[in-house]
């Protein structure tokens, strides 16, 4: 079970990393921060 949760955590981490890279490439940092501020 520990290995499974570790795999899920790693998968989420990688997905988050890829999303962040994609956002940085598709938008300027200023737009990214504005978008994050709107969600919170």
Residue found by looking up tokens 């300027």 in the block: 28
Q: Which of 4-8, 10-14, 19-23, 27-31 has the lowest mean pLDDT?
A: 27-31
pTM tops 0.75: no
Q: CA–CA separation, 9 vs 36, rounded Å?
A: 22
Phi, psi of 28 (to 5 degrees): -75, 155
pLDDT, tens digit, 9 for 90 and up, residues 15-35: 999 999 988 888 777 777 788
In whole angstroms, how large is the CA radius of gyration of the chain? 14
Q: Are 23 and 32 in contact (CB under 8 A)?
A: yes
First to last CA, the chain: 33
């Amino acid at each position: 079970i520990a290995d499974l949760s570790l795999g899920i955590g790693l998968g989420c981490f990688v997905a988050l990393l890829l999303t962040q890279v994609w956002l940085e490439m598709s938008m300027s940092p200023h737009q990214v921060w504005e978008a994050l501020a709107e969600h919170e």
